[in-house]
């Protein structure tokens, strides 16, 4: 188990570095001059050149690349071009803000999706309804769901704030948006796994043992659904932490996704790099955590691969 973990961590580090390298190169493909973005009204070429020299943008790409990664290995993500502030200092509060939203969103999609999946498995009468709901949610883009919720609960019913921000009242609608859009996937795997499990020989054994339906559902069936659900939760948490751009833009949620969008528009390369790297780390970390949790709930995954 320890060996598996070490290997997974090593792969994770390689993945993060690969993503960072790609992002770095990509920024130089994107047209635009950071110096002009920093000083849009500067008239003289000398001023712009001066800015480039300050930011080391005049050096060869290879040197800049080497510089950036040697700083990165020391844990330094650099300084924002625009905000004159360390990238780490900029990102960390945003990461926490997005973290709350990601967590709330995953909780929402697990509850909504889990309920839909369980209902459609246990009650044949609602199966068609659940399928229709799933299909509808799947085909609605995130921003449409978000704007709909905002219109109904914010502007019409005045139940939720519409001004943006990151308070406990403001989190409800964006989390619900993530929950609704993500729910069909959970509904599907829950329904599939439950159907497999209910048709299995071990559930027949449980029935033969005289256990009650409720007991069999909770102890025998849902435990077997947990493992794939955990994998998906890990993937979602990682992906959401690396930026739920659409939802953050629609609801004015000041998270890492908004920061990434702003920085891209400002050609604020160090901040863009920072958000990409933090996002990659989040994805790797949460997938790893999900794997470890799976080993806990499913003993079959504990064994070392031969």
Partner 1 sequence: MSADPAMTASPSGHGRQAAALEADSLRVCYAGLPAVDGVSLRVEPGQVAALIGETSSGKSSLALGVARLLPSSAVVTGRVGIAGTDLAELPAREARRRRASLVGYIAQDAMAALNPVIPAGRQIAELFRVHRGLRRADADAQAVHELARVRIDRPDRVARAYPHQLSGGMRQRVMIAMAMALSPPLLIADEPTTALDVSTQAEILGLVGQLQAETGSGILWITHDMGVVAELADVVAVMYAGRIVEQGPARDVFDHPMHPYTHGLLRTRTDLRTGRPGAPLYQIEGSPPALSAGRVGCAFAPRCPRRTEICGESAPELRTHDQNLQAGNALSGAGPAREFAAAASPQKSASAAGPAADARRSGPTGADLTATGWLAACHHPEVSS
| Close Cβ partners of 143 (under 8 Å, ≥ 6 residues apart) | 246, 247, 249, 250
**Residue from 45, 46, 208, 306 binding partner 1 (CB under 8 A):** 208
The reply to whether 53 sits near partner 1 by the rule CB under 8 A is: no
56 near partner 1, judged by CB under 8 A: no
With CA atoms as reference, report the closest residue to 244 among 90, 145, 96, 102. Answer: 102
Of the candidate spans 15-23, 159-167, 182-190, 223-231, the one that interacts with partner 1 by CB under 8 A turns out to be 223-231
- Per rule CB under 8 A, is residue 74 in the interface with partner 1? no
291 near partner 1, judged by CB under 8 A: no
Rg over alpha carbons for the chain, rounded to the nearest Å, is: 24
Looking at the Cβ atoms of 56 and 209, the one nearer to partner 1 is 209
Among 11, 123, 155, 202, indicate the residue that binds partner 1 (CB under 8 A).
202
Residue 155 in 3-state DSSP? helix
Nearer to partner 1, 4 or 83 (CB): 4
Q: Does 192 bind partner 1 (CB under 8 A)?
A: no
Work out whether 206 is an interface residue with partner 1 (CB under 8 A): yes
* Residue 218 makes contact with partner 1 by CB under 8 A: no
Q: Is 295 in the site for partner 1 (CB under 8 A)?
A: no
List 43, 201, 214, 304, residue binding partner 1 (CB under 8 A): 201
Tell the smallest beta-carbon distance from residue 237 to partner 1 (Å): 23
CB burial string 67-96: b at 16+ within 10 A, e below: ebeeebeeeebbbbbbbeebbeebbeebbe
Sequence-ordered list of residues with C-beta below 8 angstroms from that of 248, at least 6 positions apart, any chain: 98, 101, 174, 254, 255, 257, 258
Nearest residue to 95 (alpha-carbon basis) of 293, 294, 285, 229? 285
- Is residue 294 at the binding interface for partner 1, with CB under 8 A as the rule? no
Q: Is 60 in the site for partner 1 (CB under 8 A)?
A: no
Q: What is the dihedral of CA 39, 44, 47, 53, to 10 degrees?
A: 110
Q: Considering only CA atoms, which of 8, 228, 61, 271 is closest in space to residue 257?
A: 271
Report the alpha-carbon distance of residue 248 to residue 212 in Å, rounded: 45
| 85-124 residues near partner 1, rule: CB under 8 A | none
The 226-245 contact track toward partner 1, x by CB under 8 A, reads -x------------------
| Spatial contact of 256 and 275, defined as CB atoms under 8 Å apart | yes
Nearer to partner 1, 136 or 212 (CB): 212
Tell me which stretch binds partner 1 (CB under 8 A): 8-16, 27-35, 118-126, 212-220: 212-220
What is the closest distance, in whole angstroms, from the C-beta atom of residue 186 to partner 1 in the complex? Answer: 19
User: For 267, left (φ over 0), alpha (ψ -120 to 50), or beta?
Assistant: left
Is residue 7 close enough to count as binding partner 1 by CB under 8 A? no
Helix or strand or coil: residue 86?
strand
Specify the stretch interacting with partner 1 by CB under 8 A; choose among 6-14, 149-157, 245-253, 295-303.
Answer: 295-303
Give the residues lining the site for partner 1 (CB under 8 A): 200-202, 204-212, 215, 219-220, 223-224, 227, 297-300
């Amino acid at each position: 188990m320890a060996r598996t973990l070490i290997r997974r961590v090593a792969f994770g580090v390689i993945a993060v570095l690969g993503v960072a390298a790609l992002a770095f190169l990509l920024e130089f493909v994107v047209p635009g001059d950071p110096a002009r973005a920093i000083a849009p009204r500067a008239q003289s070429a000398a001023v712009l050149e001066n800015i480039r020299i300050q930011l080391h943008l005049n050096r060869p790409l290879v040197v800049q690349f080497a510089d950036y990664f040697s700083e990165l290995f020391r844990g330094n993500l650099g300084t924002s071009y625009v905000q004159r502030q360390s990238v780490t200092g900029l990102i960390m509060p945003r990461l926490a803000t997005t973290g709350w939203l990601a967590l709330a969103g995953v909780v929402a999609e697990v509850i909504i999706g889990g309920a839909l999946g369980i209902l459609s498995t246990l009650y044949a009468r609602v199966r068609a309804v659940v399928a229709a709901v799933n299909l509808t949610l799947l085909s609605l883009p995130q921003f449409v769901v978000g704007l709909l919720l905002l219109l109904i609960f914010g502007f019409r019913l005045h139940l939720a704030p519409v001004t943006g921000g990151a308070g406990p009242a403001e989190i409800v609608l964006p989390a619900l948006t993530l929950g609704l859009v993500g729910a069909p996937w959970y509904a599907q795997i829950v329904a599939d796994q439950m159907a497999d499990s209910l048709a299995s020989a071990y559930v027949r054994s449980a029935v033969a043992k005289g256990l009650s339906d409720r007991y069999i559902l909770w102890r025998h069936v849902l435990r077997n659904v947990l493992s794939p659900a955990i994998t998906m939760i890990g993937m979602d948490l990682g992906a959401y932490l690396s930026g739920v751009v659409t939802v953050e833009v629609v609801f004015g949620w000041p998270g890492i996704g908004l920061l990434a969008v702003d920085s891209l528009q400002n050609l604020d390369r160090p901040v863009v790099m920072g958000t990409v790297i933090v996002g990659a780390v989040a994805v790797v970390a949460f997938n790893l955590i999900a794997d470890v949790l799976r080993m806990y709930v499913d003993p079959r995954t504990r064994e070392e691969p031969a």
